[in-house]
Amino acid sequence: MAGALTPPCTLAQQDAAAPDTSKPYVLHVYANLVQVPTLILSSEFQPVDPLTRDHIFISLDSGRVFNPVKMHIEGDEPISLAILLDASDSNAPLMSHIAPVMAQLAARSLNLQDTVSIFSVDCKLIRSGLSLQATPDEVERAIERGLKAPTLHEQGRSCAKSLHLWDTTAMVLRSLGSLPGRRVLLIVSNGDDRKSSTTWNELREYADLKSIAIFGVRELMRLQADRGFSLPPVGDTGVYSASRLGEDRYLQLCELTGGVALATQKKKLLESLQRILAMVRGRYILEFPRPDDSTPGGHSVEVTVPSLSAFVTTSGVTIALPDPSQANDPNTVPTSASPAVMGKRRVLNSH
């Protein structure tokens, strides 16, 4: 951190007026700390033994690797959670009892300082709650309001064959991007998009910009039927990694924004949702001072754990440059040199 402290009046003579103690001195704090929420799991997508800073290496834009200066487990830090429910398939098993299941999730895995925003989509996107207190009753009522909204479906029929899932997700991300706390989007959907004008990569870029981690939950038997295989997920986690599914935009969107996508059965939905919240709570928050050679905008960040065969994914890093008036303020206390050095490789856009 860098700070500028307003200097007190100096008494040059004994008869000088006494300082006005009713007006406290003002400390101006200029933040230069970068935080990277990082999900680190074993190759079987299970939690790993506790790590120290020496285990973890960071590289920005493929620059020189360095260890985080500080880090901690996210734990009970406030979460702004948005839930997007795909209601386009009236026969989807995961949606049949989604309201009471989400209420149980709130009771078991969310805290009073967390907030929840609820969205449902079929022919229209319905927002039935924004930044609600994460109590079971609030969550259940908001979900029921959304799923019963008269404009959700079109004259009683579904729009599954024309669902613009990416366009809808973009609108939810914009609502979530202005909220405080650690931002997480949970999508309950099979991930079928029907010709959205928004690309999945544009969603990834915006999620990176706002440090939003996206997690997905889909129905296991539907996934296996669509893919024509009965390959089990990694271990008993419900996770199908990209190496197993190949090209899967839904999965890629999750894994490239700091989350994962799980496939589950109706009877294990609550367990899968709790697993996702446990992953969020178990993330490492890696910290380091803003690089001395920073440039504004988004940057690629690579986090590795060489001592482990691990799955590692991060939420986006956007580096804000200090205001020139602050940087040139003679009362600003300079910070020590940052261990982070920017590389030459910038974020690549692929659609």
DSSP classification of residue 168 = H
127 in helix, strand or coil? strand
pLDDT of residue 7: 35
Checking if the pLDDT of 247 tops 80, the result is: no
Nearest to 283 by CA among 75, 82, 104: 75
Nearest to 283 by CA among 218, 188, 213: 213
CA distance 97 to 266: 9
Mind listing the domains of the chain with CATH numbers? 32-74+283-351 (no CATH), 79-281 (3.40.50.410)
In this prediction, residues 138-147 reach a mean pLDDT of 97
pLDDT of residue 16: 42
CA distance 334 to 338: 11
DSSP string, 196-263: -SS-HHHHHHHHHHTTEEEEEEEEHHHHHHHHT-----BTTTTB--HHHH-S-HHHHHHHTTT--EEE
pLDDT of residue 1: 39
Output the 3-class SS for 288-335.
EECCCCCCCEEECEEEECCCCCEEEEECCEEECCCCHHHHCCCCECCC
Confidence category of residue 318, pLDDT binned at 50, 70, 90: low
Least confident of 140-149, 150-159, 229-238, 257-266: 229-238
pLDDT of residue 168: 97
pLDDT of residue 306: 95
Across the chain, mean pLDDT equals: 83
Checking if the pLDDT of 307 tops 70, the result is: yes
Confidence category of residue 342, pLDDT binned at 50, 70, 90: low
In this prediction, residues 236-250 reach a mean pLDDT of 70
pLDDT of residue 250: 93
Dihedral sign, CA of 72, 321, 319, 196?
Answer: positive
Q: Which residues of 292-324 are buried (b: 16+ CB within 10 A; e: fewer)?
A: eebeeebbbbbbebeebebbbbbbbbebeebee
Checking if the pLDDT of 280 tops 60, the result is: yes
pTM: 0.83
pLDDT of residue 322: 52
pLDDT digits (tens, 9 = 90+) for 77-125: 999 999 999 999 867 899 999 999 999 999 999 999 999 999 999 999 9
pLDDT of residue 227: 73
pLDDT above 90 coverage of the chain, percent = 58
CA distance 347 to 351: 13
